């Protein structure tokens, strides 16, 4: 079985610390801190850029030689308000001191020094619906392709209503063949509401060489090294996930699973 489902290590401190080496790939890294007031998280970026996402709670942030003040507004991720986020370039450092209970995501990928430290939200982020019927979900685009704010990172939040599907119809982005497709590694950081719930995520290739179906719970992390990766929220439980993607080209081009492409074609007729 592929090691695609990563459980949090405890409930406080740095509960996820995924590096490219640990994942067995080349680009995406993901860290998650769960902090109490007064707790500190700090890291140098080295040769990697970072986007800090205040998933919930507030923290005093300093980064790249600047004091960014207290960042964060929503106290529960399922408020669905735009997140406070900060871009931190490679060759610098950052420090966060929690002022309330705080969940801080650290999204990383190779940096090239083309962008200065800057706020990425809440300004410039608005909750946007996508899909139809039981495929409806709601997106907070933090740093997708249309926002030229990073060298490598693509980051977005997705809220999937109870009983709905997401990242569906099944699609993949595992070939470096632009403009047909881009190679992008991807992680999913999952949350459920109510917290005791679960969701389902499948990661599979069309030839069946990879085919894993996972029950994901609150604070779990799923790795998508290749293949299609749909997920679903059972009746009664709302699902959130934070996506981090990166590859050799900062563009998102994908192909649907041919078996299920008819759904996309039907729903996207002019």
**Model confidence pLDDT, tens digit, residues 225-238:** 999 999 999 999 99
Backbone angles phi, psi at 44, to 5 degrees: -80, 150
Q: Domain of residue 260: give its range.
A: 8-267
**2 within a domain of the structure (yes/no):** no
- Average pLDDT of span 244-261: 97
Bigger pLDDT: 121 vs 3 = 3
CA distance 176 to 247: 9
**21 within a domain of the structure (yes/no):** yes
**CB neighbours of 102 closer than 8 A, spacing ≥ 6?**
33, 34, 35, 36, 39, 54, 56, 57, 58, 59, 72, 96
- Average pLDDT of span 247-264: 96
**1 within a domain of the structure (yes/no):** no
| Beta carbons of 250 and 183 less than 8 angstroms apart | no
| Beta carbons of 196 and 141 less than 8 angstroms apart | no
**217 within a domain of the structure (yes/no):** yes
Alpha-carbon separation of residue 264 from 139, 176, 186, 251 (angstroms): 18, 23, 21, 20
Could you tell me which of 41, 43, 71 has the C-alpha nearest to residue 56?
A: 71
Edge-to-edge order in the sheet of strand 231-232? 165-166, 231-232, 199-204, 211-216
Say which range, 26-40, 152-166, 255-269, has the weakest mean pLDDT. Answer: 255-269
**3 within a domain of the structure (yes/no):** no
> What is the domain count for the chain?
1
On the question of pLDDT at 246 being above 50, the answer is: yes
Backbone angles phi, psi at 134, to 5 degrees: -75, 5
pTM given for the model: 0.97
DSSP state of 135: G
The pLDDT-based confidence of 121 (bands split at 50, 70, 90) is confident
Give the pLDDT of residue 1.
43
- Average pLDDT of span 124-145: 95
The pLDDT-based confidence of 115 (bands split at 50, 70, 90) is very high
**CB neighbours of 257 closer than 8 A, spacing ≥ 6?**
169, 170, 171, 172, 206, 228
**190 within a domain of the structure (yes/no):** yes
Q: What is the pLDDT of residues 8-21, one digit of tens each?
A: 999 999 999 999 99
CA distance 49 to 69: 20
Backbone angles phi, psi at 57, to 5 degrees: 90, 180
**CB neighbours of 183 closer than 8 A, spacing ≥ 6?**
173, 174, 175, 176, 247, 248, 249
Say which range, 5-9, 119-123, 203-207, has the weakest mean pLDDT. Answer: 119-123
**235 within a domain of the structure (yes/no):** yes
The pLDDT-based confidence of 2 (bands split at 50, 70, 90) is low
Could you tell me which of 25, 12, 196, 191 has the C-alpha nearest to residue 108?
A: 25
Give the pLDDT of residue 72.
97
CA distance from start to end of the chain: 42
Edge-to-edge order in the sheet of strand 66-71? 40-44, 93-98, 59-63, 66-71
Ordered alpha helix ranges (H), the chain: 20-23, 261-267
On the question of pLDDT at 270 being above 90, the answer is: no
The mean of the pLDDT values for the chain is 97
CATH number reported for the structural domain that contains residue 141 in this entry: 2.60.120.10
CA distance 105 to 84: 11
- Average pLDDT of span 96-125: 97
Q: What is the pLDDT of residues 145-173, one digit of tens each?
A: 999 999 999 999 999 999 999 999 999 99
Give the pLDDT of residue 131.
93
- Average pLDDT of span 207-235: 98
CA distance 235 to 103: 26
């Amino acid at each position: 079985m592929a090691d695609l489902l990563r459980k949090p290590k405890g409930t406080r401190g740095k509960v996820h610390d995924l590096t490219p080496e640990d994942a067995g790939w080349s680009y995406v890294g993901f860290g998650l801190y769960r902090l109490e007031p007064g707790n500190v998280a700090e890291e140098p970026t080295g040769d990697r850029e970072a986007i800090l996402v205040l998933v919930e709670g507030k923290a005093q942030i300093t980064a790249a030689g600047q004091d960014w003040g207290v960042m964060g507004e929503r106290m529960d991720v399922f408020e669905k308000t735009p997140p406070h986020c900060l871009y931190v370039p490679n060759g610098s450092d950052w420090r966060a001191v929690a002022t309330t209970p705080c969940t801080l995501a650290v999204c990383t990928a190779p940096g090239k020094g083309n962008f200065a430290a800057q706020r990425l939200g809440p300004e410039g982020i608005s909750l946007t619906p996508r899909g139809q019927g039981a495929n409806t979900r709601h997106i907070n685009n933090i740093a997708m392709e249309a926002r030229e704010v990073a060298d490598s990172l693509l980051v977005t939040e997705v809220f999937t209503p109870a009983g709905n599907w997401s990242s569906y119809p099944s699609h993949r982005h595992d070939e470096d063949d632009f403009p047909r497709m881009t190679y992008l590694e991807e992680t999913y950081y999952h949350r459920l509401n109510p917290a005791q719930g679960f969701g389902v995520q499948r990661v599979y290739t069309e030839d069946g060489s990879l085919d894993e179906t996972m029950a994901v719970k609150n604070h779990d992390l799923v790795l998508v090294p290749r293949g299609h990766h749909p997920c679903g929220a059972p009746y009664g439980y709302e699902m959130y996930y934070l996506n981090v993607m990166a590859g050799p080209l900062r563009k998102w081009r994908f192909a649907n699973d041919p078996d299920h492409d008819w759904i996309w074609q039907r729903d996207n007729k002019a």
